[in-house]
Amino acid sequence: MPSERLSKFLSNSGIASRRKCDNIIKSGRVKVNNIIILEPFYKVLPDTDKVTIDNHIVKPLLKTIYLALYKPLNIISDLVSEKSRHNARSLISIKTYLFPVGRLDYNSEGLILFTNDGNFANKIMHPKYGIEKEYLVKFKGVITDELLLKVRKGLLIEGSEYRVKSIIFIKTSFFNSWYRIILDEGKNRMIRKIGIKIKHPVLKLKRIRIGPVRLGNLKPGEYRALTDIEKNLFLHMYKPKSFKETLKV
């Protein structure tokens, strides 16, 4: 077997996404043949080199797992539970290492993916692929057409441009309003920050789609395996943006 980057080897072994593996390596927790390696691009031979994290041997995966979970409200996405806060991983009964792909904040609900395939996770999260995430969002008040136009053109927030791919009015509910929002970039708490910026705070947020995977009939706390069609769409349908587009990210 040819050599491969250490970060890729860890990711392929189900440790975490490629980006998180980079951080694990740089933290000094990884050894190759009993020598601490701090460079994610260090080359390893998977068949012959002994790779460890915190002195535990890392072995390549025998089986990859891909799950869609409906994260309920008041559940964190991170693997480590906080005091009095449960994590989404605890809702899955499968006893193997799995990590969330992307995040939903504590006060949001809806679709989140879990896997042990780092390459798969990297493709979904990396901005160069522009994989869409779709949300149903309830804002306080009713957003004027003028404000909607500004949101569509992009808003400057914390020194960065926040731009949605689309925002479509659905209905009003008393003095509030519902919109369907599609993002193809993943800034932290992006929709909530947009709501604060335009003075229409987010009251409810539910993610209903990631790429070809839809929340469908899942109920809060339920999960299912991704279908072969969904997995193949991620692998073959989503290609990196052009070089020019990538530079804008």
Active-site residue numbers?
105
Dihedral Cα 224, 230, 231, 232, nearest 10 deg: 160
Tallying the residues shown for the chain, one arrives at: 249
Q: What are the φ/ψ torsions at residue 41 (nearest 5 degrees)?
A: -90, 5
Q: How far apart are CA 155 and CA 124, in angstroms?
A: 24
Alpha helical stretches, state H, the chain: 6-12, 18-26, 118-125, 145-153, 190-197, 228-236, 243-248
| Residue 140 three-state SS | strand
Cβ neighbours of residue 221 under 8 Å, at least 6 residues apart?
70, 72, 91
Nearest CA to 108 out of 182, 202, 219 is that of 202
| Residue 194 three-state SS | helix
Nearest CA to 194 out of 169, 168, 170, 158 is that of 158
